[in-house]
C-alpha cells in the first residue's frame, strides 16, 4: 500500500508522522503475519527403570529432570516418560509403535541393561535395537541412542559383543550416540541406591548434567525438522 504525502501548507511533521503510523496499521491489518510460533518440541524418553525413575519421586525421574534442565536453558520442550521398569529390548520393540502415538519430535532410546543383567545373547538386543532404529528412521524421527555396558560376570566375549552393538548400530543408522547412560554414576555409592544399580535423584541429576549437550543437539535437529515440515506445508 503506497501512501503519498503532499507538501501542503500547514502540514506539520507531527501530522505527517501520525499519518505514516496509521498507514502502517492499515497495511498490517490487510496483510497479517501468517508465521505461527514454534510449538514445544516433544521428546519421548523410551527406556527401562533407569528412565522410568525406579526408587525416586516422579519429579526426580530422568524425563522430569531433563525437561527442567532444558527449560532452564531456554528450550520449549515436553519430555514424555516412556520408561517401563524391567523392560528388555524385546519388550521395548513390542511397545514402540504405540509409544509413538502421538508421534513425538524426537526419541531418546535407553534400553539394554536388563538384557545384559539376564545374560541374553547380545544378538537378541542388537536385532531389537536395529529394528527400533529402522522404524524411527522410516518415520523421520530424530534419535539419540544411549549405550549400556555389560557386567563382567558373563565373560570377556559377552562384554565385548554387547558393548560393541551400540556404536555399530549408531554408525549404521547415522544417529548420535551417548556411549554410556550411567557415565559418572555407575558403581558410585554417592549416586546410587542401596541396590547399587539404580541412581538416586542426585544420580539422575548427574546423568542429566552429562547428557544435556547431546540432548540439546537433539532438540536442535527436531526444531530443524519442524521448520522443514512447516515450510513444506502449503
The active-site residue, picked from 48, 61, 163, 198, is: 198
Q: How far is residue 121's CA from residue 163's CA, in Å, rounded to a whole number?
A: 12
Per the residue annotation, which of 49, 61, 115, 163 is the catalytic one? 49
Say if residues 64 and 79 touch (Cβ distance below 8 Å). yes
Per the residue annotation, which of 28, 105, 195, 225 is the catalytic one? Answer: 195
Residue with cell 560393541: 164
Residue in this structure with the C-alpha cell 532410546, named with its chain if needed: 109
Angle, CA 68 vertex, CA 188 and CA 104 arms, to 5°: 105
In sequence order, the 6+-apart residues with CB closer than 8 A to the CB of 71 are: 77
Give the relative orientation of helices 201-232 and 62-72 as an angle to the nearest 10 degrees: 60
Q: How far apart are CA 149 and CA 162, in angstroms?
A: 7
Q: Classify strands 106-110 and 143-146 as parallel, antiparallel or unpaired.
A: parallel
Cis bond leading into 38, ω under 30°?
A: no
The dihedrals phi and psi of 221, each to the nearest 5 degrees, come to -65, -40
Count of H helices and E strands in the chain?
8, 5
Give CA–CA dist 122/116, Å, rounded.
8
Known catalytic membership, residue 195: yes
Q: Mind telling me the catalytic residues?
A: 49, 195, 198
Amino acid at each position: 500500500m503506497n501512501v503519498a504525502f503532499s507538501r501542503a501548507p500547514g502540514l506539520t511533521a507531527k501530522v505527517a508522522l501520525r499519518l505514516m503510523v496509521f498507514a502502517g496499521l492499515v497495511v498490517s491489518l490487510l496483510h497479517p503475519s501468517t508465521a505461527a510460533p514454534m510449538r514445544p518440541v516433544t521428546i519421548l524418553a523410551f527406556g527401562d527403570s533407569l528412565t522410568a525413575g525406579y526408587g525416586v519421586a516422579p519429579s526426580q525421574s530422568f524425563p522430569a529432570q531433563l525437561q527442567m534442565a532444558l527449560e532452564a536453558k531456554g528450550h520449549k520442550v515436553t519430555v514424555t516418560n516412556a520408561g517401563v521398569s524391567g523392560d528388555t529390548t524385546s519388550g521395548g520393540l513390542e511397545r514402540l509403535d504405540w509409544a509413538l502415538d502421538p508421534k513425538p519430535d524426537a526419541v531418546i532410546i535407553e534400553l539394554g541393561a536388563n538384557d545384559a543383567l539376564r545374560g541374553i545373547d547380545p544378538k537378541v538386543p542388537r536385532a531389537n535395537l536395529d529394528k527400533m532404529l529402522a522404524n524411527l528412521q522410516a518415520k523421520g524421527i530424530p534419535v539419540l541412542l544411549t549405550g549400556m555396558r555389560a557386567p563382567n560376570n558373563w565373560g570377556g566375549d559377552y562384554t565385548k559383543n554387547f558393548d560393541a552393538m551400540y556404536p555399530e548400530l549408531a554408525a549404521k543408522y547415522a544417529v548420535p550416540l551417548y556411549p554410556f547412560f550411567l557415565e559418572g554414576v555407575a558403581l558410585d555409592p554417592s549416586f546410587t541406591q542401596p541396590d547399587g544399580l539404580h541412581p538416586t535423584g542426585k544420580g539422575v541429576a548427574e546423568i542429566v548434567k552429562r547428557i544435556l549437550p547431546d540432548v540439546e543437539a537433539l532438540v536442535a535437529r527436531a526444531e530443524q525438522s519442524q521448520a522443514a515440515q512447516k515450510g513444506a506445508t502449503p
